[in-house]
Amino acid sequence: MPFLVLKKRSIIAFVIIFSVIVSASVWFFSKSDSVTVFNQKEGEKVREIHMVTGEFKAKLPDGKEIEAYRWDPGTIFLEKGEKVNLKIWGVNGMEHPYIIEGTDIKGVVKKAEETVVPLQFDKEGVYRLVCLTHPDKDNSGPMIAYIVVD
C-alpha cells in the first residue's frame, strides 16, 4: 500500500499544522465569551443606564449600627447584543472594586467619580455585578446588582 508510505518530514509537518489549528480554535472559542467590551465609534448611539452606590444604615436597640452598601438600581435589563454604557456614580463608600461574573469586566467605582462600563452581551442570562469589598451581609453588603440579558 504505497499511499501509506509517508516521509518523516511530512508527518512532522502534519502534526505541526494540526496542533496549530487545534490551538487556534481553542483560543478562538475560549475568546468568544458571552460578553464583549465594545469600542465606541464616533456618533454611534449607545443607550445609557445610570446607577449609583448607596448605603443603608440602621441603629439596633443596643446602640450597635449595621449597614449595607448597594448598587442602585439593583436590577438592569439589556437586550442580547445591545450596546449599553453603564454609568455608575460613586456616592456612598470610598471605593467599590467590582467584577461582572462570567466576564472579564472589572474595575473600581470611587466616591464622587463616574465610572463608565461599556456592556454588550452575546448570551442571554443573568449576570451579577458584585462589589468585592461588600459581597454579602457579613461584609456590609450584599452589594450585588443583577444584569438581565434577554
Minimum gap (Å) between residue 72 Cβ and Cu ion: 12
C-alpha cell at 28: 478562538
C-beta closer to Cu ion: residue 97 or 118:
97
Minimum gap (Å) between residue 110 Cβ and Cu ion: 11
- Spatial separation of the C-alpha atoms in residues 120 and 110, rounded to whole Å: 23
C-beta closer to Cu ion: residue 82 or 95:
95
Q: Look at the block and give the residue holding cell 473600581.
A: 108
**In the complex, which residues of this chain contact Cu ion (CB under 5 A)?**
69, 96, 131, 133-134, 143
| DSSP bridge pairs for 129 | 100, 145
Residue nearest to Cu ion (CB): 131
Answer whether 70's CB lies under 8 Å from 31's CB.
no
C-beta closer to Cu ion: residue 34 or 133:
133
Minimum gap (Å) between residue 46 Cβ and Cu ion: 26
Q: Look at the block and give the residue holding cell 516521509.
A: 7
Peptide bond between residue 142 and the one before it cis (omega within 30 degrees of 0): yes
Answer whether 82's CB lies under 8 Å from 120's CB.
yes
Answer whether 65's CB lies under 8 Å from 20's CB.
no
C-beta closer to Cu ion: residue 119 or 131:
131
Minimum gap (Å) between residue 133 Cβ and Cu ion: 5
